[in-house]
Structure 1
Amino acid sequence: MYLNNIKLLFIQPCVAESKKIRFKAEFSSDVSNIMPYLNSVVKSGSYNSNMPSFTFKKDSRLINIYANDMTVAKAINETDAYSIMDFVKDLINETYDNKNSIEPNYEMRKKPSAFKIYSYLPKKNCKKCGETTCIAFASKLLTGVKTLNQCDVLEEEQYKEKLKSLNDLLELV
């Protein structure tokens, strides 16, 4: 076992969502050398080798892993905080155990722009999604206000490949 435990340091109200919490926890070991492997395992994550840090979302929670600690925003409550800590500990240990079969990824993934997302949309401005234009819909996809299934046109056979590409792009959001 690479990471023996994670110790909760503090809990505070979440700035982004007042009914949720944010917290910080400390690792029993430095995990910076595992981050490039996590970057390969968690496709929706973002690795920053300069810091080093690894950031990803689990459901609505934003998890930031640093060399010796982690921060989490939008946790539901203290019980959820401990559950997330267990999840991260298992993720790190499992990744470490399998690192010989994982190609480390040192690339820093970038969040796609609204224009990049728009390039894959049907561009019909049909308003079925509730937005006046497809570029407005693309912007709402980036912020998580809208989801791809709200664009009925994307379900048409001719947009099947674009829908797959959009799903891949939005994994980074």
Structure 2
Amino acid sequence: MALNYEITGMAPCLADGARVRVTAMWNQDIGELLPYVNAVVKYASFDPGGVVITFKYRGCPVILERRRVTLGQLADLDEAEDIMDDLVDFLRRVQDKKAEITPLNQPKPQPQVHEIIRMLPRNNCGQCGEPTCTAFALKLVLERQKAENCLPLTGDEICTVLKVLESLDNRQLKIE
């Protein structure tokens, strides 16, 4: 796969005007790879009708389409090029491992934050660094927080939370 890209646009990020959003065009149609990407990316929103998948890559929102990709929340063009180069490598690895991956041609269930919220103290104490238990639960699901940062939880409760987190998506594959 001789996949390359050309950056075609840069604009203020819609979510954070202090950062930028970059659009690039692929040199070839990657639509047939998107169900494989959907199978290996842990949390993604996949639209098989429009053949588009949205996910986070290196902390950056990515909208991956057949001929185009959009990256958001970037510091600058240099960061965009760095992430794009990594994304191209990732897509090449997916291509190389296609025989080992079962493509997923439908949206996958999204993590259920409410399952985690029920396990937390729900007193919004802020000891974890988050303003609310709901914010903490969301960051746990997105792997931006650690269960042990909820100081009111006991060791057994932390283990229970970790088991639920593991059960949310056990299809994660590493593409190396």
Match of 1:88 in 2: 87
RMSD: 2.9
Match of 2:48 in 1: 49
- Aligned amino acid, residue 145 of structure 2: T
- CA distance in structure 2 between the partners assigned to 1:154 and 1:170 by the alignment: 23
Q: Which runs of 5+ in 2 are unaligned?
A: 171-176
Q: Say yes or no: does 1:137 pair with 2:133.
A: yes
Pairing of 1:21-100 with structure 2 (within 5 A): 21-100=20-99
Structure 1 residue 154, shift from structure 2 partner: 4.2
- CA distance in structure 1 between the partners assigned to 2:78 and 2:70 by the alignment: 15
Q: State whether residues 117 and 169 of structure 1, in contact with CA within 8 Å, keep that contact through their aligned partners in structure 2.
A: no
- Aligned amino acid, residue 156 of structure 1: G
Deviations 1:42-73 (A, max 9, x none): 21223221211111112331011011101111
Structure 1 residue 34, shift from structure 2 partner: 0.5
- Aligned amino acid, residue 162 of structure 2: L
Task: Give the match's secondary structure for 1:71.
Answer: strand
Task: Give the match's secondary structure for 1:159.
Answer: helix
- CA distance in structure 1 between the partners assigned to 2:129 and 2:87 by the alignment: 37
- CA distance in structure 2 between the partners assigned to 1:126 and 1:137 by the alignment: 5
Match of 1:147 in 2: 145
- CA distance in structure 1 between the partners assigned to 2:26 and 2:130 by the alignment: 44
Structure 1 residue 93, shift from structure 2 partner: 1.3
Identical counterparts, % of pairs: 25
Deviations 1:11-56 (A, max 9, x none): 1121222221101100111111101111122212232212111111
Structure 1 stretch displaced more, 88-97 or 102-111: 102-111
- TM-score, normalised to structure 1's length? 0.79
- CA distance in structure 2 between the partners assigned to 1:111 and 1:76 by the alignment: 28
Match of 1:9 in 2: 8
Match of 2:173 in 1: none
- Aligned amino acid, residue 56 of structure 2: K
Structure 1 residue 167, shift from structure 2 partner: 5.9
- CA distance in structure 1 between the partners assigned to 2:60 and 2:77 by the alignment: 13
The number of aligned residues is 165
Q: Cα gap change, 1:153/1:65 in structure 2, threshold over 3 Å: closer, same or farther?
A: same
- TM-score, normalised to structure 2's length? 0.78
Structure 1 residue 129, shift from structure 2 partner: 3.7
- Aligned amino acid, residue 114 of structure 2: F
